[in-house]
Chains A and B, each alone.
Chain A
Amino acid sequence: MGWFILRRLVLLLVTMVIVSVGVFIITEASPGNVARNLLGSFVTPEQEASFLNQLGLDEPLWKRYLYWLAGTDWIASKRIGLPLERLTTERGFTEWWAKLPSGDLIRWQLKGEDLVAVIKHQDGRIEEKLDNRRWRKGGGGREFFWGVDLHNRAVLWQKGLSKKQWVYVHGKGWVEAAGGATDYIPLKKGFLRGDPGISLRTGRPVAKSLFVRLRNSLVLASISFVIVMPIALALGIVAGLTAERPIDRALSIVGMAFSVIPEFAMGIFLILIFALWLRWLPGASVFGNHAPWERPDMLILPVLTLSLIELGYVLRITRASMVEVMRSPYIRTAYLKGLPHHVVVFKHALRNALIAPITVIMLHVNWLLGGVVIVEVVFGYSGLGKYLLDSAMYKDINALEAGAMIMVVVAVGTQLVADIAYTFLNPRIRFK
């Protein structure tokens, strides 16, 4: 058993590596780039190049993958010569500072020819002062300096060579500003140390927005799961007990139709019926900054769509399993012993018949994820799926990678849980 779990965990790791490398390569190979997607198609080639440079996107692929995985602060720290520290402000923003030997934190800013240090003392006091003595002599007589700027980047400034830089302003998007540098390393701790980076599209930390999206998706998926399971299992058992009779025929055909109709078509049908013709429910689920449970009426249609799709699938599996169990010799023995029908069904058949559905449903999570994505798009529900789709469209690599990793962990994780559950439910199975 332990060996088996270990093997599956290795598979999870392999899958995550394959997917993460795949996402990098595919995003790289595809036409268009994030600069044009974010700044608009009227951006000049120089602006585009400087934007890519600032985000560290002009580095070779393997280097960017390494940075994404292991972070950049250790490299930057070597260049700057001071240890770096990450703080989270009261308003939830991430700030990177260099730590002086005295214990005070420091960042810099370039104003014309002058280097201005912003020092945060240990008592919280913030002080600004000229700090020109830090310029170092480089080759060719130029003076240069590696430091941390106000936008969480390690930068290489050259004296007298102030370039334009792109700054993300909340509410306005990316705008150009003075005081730019010649080389940038965006600071991050790396995925392995729990920092998926900053979303290029929104300028916010991916981990923060992803958490809200993930919560919304979980609300949607778990409500429909709780509703659908008892109904589908009960209907599946009924269909299995009445195999080949009209009730079973009807349930099986309806169940099959529900499970194969694409989610978006089902969503459209429900919107037309309940939002347009009956006018009972809103046809979209746009919450803004609110949590989904604050508007339960908006949750009904997405949950219903997802439930109908899952209903059909679980019903079919349960029916097949029930039919098989009812044909087995031990059930015949029970009948021949003279046990009444309900005792045979509830005491003997049911427990065995539910083993297959429970594990198969866990394996089905992979598909359920797809359904959730589509339902979110149909209803404009702001969940993980929609986040992933938008990130893929904008080539927002940090957000895309983080979302993809979560999906893989959920899919492979539930498969592992399903396999373990199976061994407990069915002692005949033993893993070598």
Chain B
Amino acid sequence: MGDVSQLNEYEYIEGKERKSLLSKSLRPFALIFSSRTATVGFAIVSFWIIVSVFAPFLTPYSPTYQDWKAPNQGPSWNHPLGTDELGRDLWARLIYGARIVLVIFPVSSGLWLPGGTALWGVAMALLVGSTLGLISGYKGGWIDEIVMRLLDAMISIPVILLYLLLVAALGASAVNVVIAIAIVGAPGIARLVRGLTLDIKTRDYIRAAETRGESSLYIMFVEILPNTKGPIIIDAMLRVGYAVFAMGTLGFLGLGLPPPSPDWGSMVAKGREFILAGAPWAALWPSVAIASLVVGLNLLADGLREELTRYQ
């Protein structure tokens, strides 16, 4: 008897939560905190989000201010993490660097958009990938054949080659980094969405919409797309981690953001030259930062996926 009533209570709570907007918005957090892995990941990611949002209040230095009397120093009272080869404060560069990844997308010198460069990259990949996947899956026929063969070819190109070509050709800027992340990510998303679309397309409500005479655009974006969101959200979370990884790699190869901006990857590339001269700090901190953020994002995504599949 006890078991049954507990089960019913669970369903009851489920039903109640659907009514209240507040508890509905808290539900993802309940999900995160029910998994230890996800909680740790969430803590790491929140740390970086908080320091990047409040960056101007957390350091007296600007990320480009050069203290030419104190280059390549270790941690000290004035510079908590030390300075780089031009005497710039590493803590300031680190947290302003996190800002570019997570909070700000610098489109050009005077214009920036909210949402980090990595997030915009994933968003663009989602936009392109799910559009292609929807069209390919819903229309079928020769359109499907052509799109999928082209994507097959895209997927078989080594990713690093794509990066080299794209950004070496387009030049180093945040917009080009976003384009690179989007182009590399889109084929995978398109395949995922196509698979989901093929399944959803056979449902009765799609038949109903077709009988109503809805346009295929309406069916694709209003009827099918919202029903693919579950798997896509999980996939997108893993992709954010990968986008941060990609940004770092591009920066390290000299294809990231142009020099004065505090790009983690390029900080490592520059700092690497001074390691064997006895100044490891400039290479160490951004490496630690990028490694911890990527690991944090993956822990969060892995934990969430585990929790979700457990309930299913």
CA distance A14 to B299 in the complex (A): 38
Which residues of B253-312 have CB atoms within 8 Å of chain A's CB atoms?
Answer: 253-254, 265, 268-269, 272, 275-276, 278, 280, 283-284, 287-288, 290-291, 294-295, 298-299, 302
Please give the residue numbers on chain B whose beta carbons come within 8 Å of chain A beta carbons, in ascending order.
37, 149-150, 152-153, 156-161, 163-166, 168-171, 241, 245, 248-249, 252-254, 265, 268-269, 272, 275-276, 278, 280, 283-284, 287-288, 290-291, 294-295, 298-299, 302
Across the interface, do A377 and B166 meet the contact criterion of CB distance under 8 Å?
Answer: no
- Closest B residue to A284 by beta carbon equals B276
Provide the residues of chain B in CB contact with A264, threshold 8 Å. 248-249, 252, 265, 268-269, 287
Q: Of A87-95, A140-148, A403-411, which binds chain B?
A: A403-411
Is A265 touching B268 in the complex (CB atoms < 8 A)?
A: yes
Contacts of B272 in A (CB 8 A): 268, 378
23 A-B contact pairs sorted by A residue (CB < 8 Å): A11-B149, A15-B157, A26-B166, A29-B169, A253-B299, A256-B299, A260-B294, A262-B252, A264-B252, A264-B265, A265-B268, A265-B287, A265-B290, A275-B276, A276-B276, A283-B276, A284-B276, A374-B160, A388-B164, A407-B158, A408-B158, A410-B158, A411-B157
Q: Is the CB of A22 within 8 A of B253?
A: no
Asked if A262 and B157 make an inter-chain contact with CB atoms under 8 angstroms apart, the answer reads: no
Indicate whether A180 reaches chain B with its CB closer than 8 angstroms: no
Q: Is the CB of B275 within 8 A of A14?
A: no
Given contacts A262-B248, A264-B249, A272-B284, contact A15 B156 (CB under 8 A): yes
Q: Who on chain B is nearest to A370 by CB?
A: B160
Residue pair B287, A269 in contact (C-beta under 8 Å)? yes
Bound CA–CA A62/B128 (angstroms): 29
- A395 nearest CB neighbor, chain B only: B168
From 6 to 31 in chain A, residues with beta carbon under 8 angstroms from any chain B beta carbon are 11-12, 14-15, 18-19, 22-23, 26-27, 29-31
A29 to B169, CA, bound (A): 7
Q: Which 4 A-B pairs have the closest CB atoms?
A: A370-B160, A30-B169, A265-B287, A26-B169
CB distance from B10 to the nearest CB of A (A): 23
Contacts of A196 in B (CB 8 A): none
Q: Does A47 contact B (CB under 8 A)?
A: no
* Chain B residue at smallest Cβ distance from A411: B158
Residues of A within 8 A of B278 (CB): 276
Contact A407 B161 (CB under 8 A): yes
**A156 to B264, alpha carbons, bound, how many Å?**
52
Complexed CA–CA distance, A377 and B252 (Å): 9
Determine the chain A residues whose CB is within 8 A of the CB of B249 once the complex forms.
262-264, 370, 374
With an 8 A cutoff between CB atoms, is A366 at the interface?
yes
Which chain A positions have C-beta within 8 A of B164?
388-389, 392
Provide the residues of chain B in CB contact with A31, threshold 8 Å.
Answer: 171
Given contacts A260-B241, A265-B248, whether A14 and B37 have CB atoms under 8 Å apart is no
**Which residues of A sit under 8 angstroms from B295, Cβ to Cβ?**
256-257, 260-261
Q: Which residue of chain B has the shortest Cβ distance to A367 in the bound complex?
A: B159
**Which residues from 381 to 418 on chain A have a C-beta closer than 8 Å to any C-beta of chain B?**
385, 388-389, 392-393, 404, 407-408, 410-412, 415
Whether A237 sits at the interface, judged by CB under 8 Å, is no
Question: Is the CB–CB distance between B253 and A404 below 8 Å?
Answer: no
CA distance A404 to B158 in the complex (A): 9
**Cβ–Cβ contact B157 & A276, under 8 A:** no
Contact at A272–B280, with CB atoms within 8 Å? yes
Interface set of A (CB-CB < 8 Å, partner B): 11-12, 14-15, 18-19, 22-23, 26-27, 29-31, 253, 256-257, 260-266, 268-269, 271-272, 275-276, 283-284, 366-367, 369-370, 373-374, 377-378, 385, 388-389, 392-393, 404, 407-408, 410-412, 415
Q: Which of B37, B248, B275, B291 is within 8 Å of A272, CB to CB?
A: B275
A31 to B166, CA, bound (A): 12
- Identify the closest chain A residue to B246 (Cβ): A262
Given A12-B156, A276-B280, list of 9 further CB < 8 A pairs?
A: A15-B156, A19-B161, A253-B37, A256-B299, A262-B291, A269-B287, A370-B160, A370-B249, A393-B168
Q: Are A30 and B161 in contact (CB under 8 A)?
A: no
Q: Which residues of A contact B288 (CB under 8 A)?
A: 265
Q: Contacting B291 at CB < 8 Å: which of A27, A261, A408?
A: A261
Q: Among A257, A261, A269, which residue has the most Cβ atoms of chain B within 10 A?
A: A261
Tell me, rounded to whole Å, the shortest Cβ–Cβ distance linking A178 to chain B: 36
- By the criterion CB–CB under 8 Å, are A411 and B280 in contact? no
Contact of B290 among A12, A30, A262 (CB under 8 A): A262
With a CB–CB cut-off of 8 A, which chain A residues contact B170? Answer: 30
Q: How far is it, in angstroms, between the C-alpha of A261 and the C-alpha of B249 when the chains are bound?
A: 11
State how many angstroms separate the Cβ of B152 from the closest Cβ of chain A.
Answer: 6
Q: Report how far A425 CA is from B219 CA in the complex, Å.
A: 42
User: What's the minimum C-beta distance from B121 to chain A, rounded to whole angstroms?
Assistant: 15
> Closest residue to A373 on the B side, CB-wise?
B160
User: Which of the listed residues B159, B241, B252, B298 has the most CB atoms from chain A within 10 Å of its own CB?
Assistant: B252
Contacts of B275 in A (CB 8 A): 268, 271-272, 275-276, 283
Task: List residues of chain B with CB within 8 A of the CB of A276.
Answer: 275-276, 278, 280
CB-CB < 8 A to B159: which residues of A? Answer: 366-367, 370
Q: Do the beta carbons of B160 and A27 come within 8 Å of each other?
A: no
Shortest Cβ gap from A374 to chain B (Å): 6
Which chain B residues border A18 with CB–CB below 8 Å?
A: 150, 153, 157
User: What's the least CB distance linking B115 to chain A, in Å?
Assistant: 22
Contact A260 B290 (CB under 8 A): no
Complex Cα–Cα for A393 and B171 (A) = 10
Chain A CB within 10 Å, residue with most, of B159, B165, B166, B295: B165
Docked pose: A369 CA to B160 CA in angstroms: 7
- B244's nearest neighbour on chain A, judged by CB, is A262
Q: How far is the CA of A345 from the CA of B71 in the complex (A)?
A: 59
CB distance from B277 to the nearest CB of A (A): 10
Report the minimum CB–CB distance from B248 to chain A (whole Å).
5
The residue on B at minimum CB distance from A385 is B160
B245 touching A262 by the CB < 8 A rule? yes
* Contact A268/B283 with A261-B291, A373-B160, A378-B272 known, Cβ cut-off 8 Å: yes
Q: B268 — which chain A residues lie within 8 A by C-beta?
A: 264-265, 268
Q: How far is the CA of A12 from the CA of B158 in the complex (A)?
A: 13
CB distance from A286 to the nearest CB of B (A): 12
Complex alpha-carbon distance, A370 and B158, angstroms? 7
B153 and A11 contact, CB distance less than 8 A: yes
With contact pairs A26-B169, A264-B265 given, residues A11 and B152 touching in the complex (Cβ less than 8 Å): yes
Determine if B245 and A260 form an interchain contact, defined as CB atoms under 8 angstroms apart.
yes
Distance in Å: Cβ of B161 to nearest Cβ of chain A: 5
CB-nearest residue of chain B to A413: B156
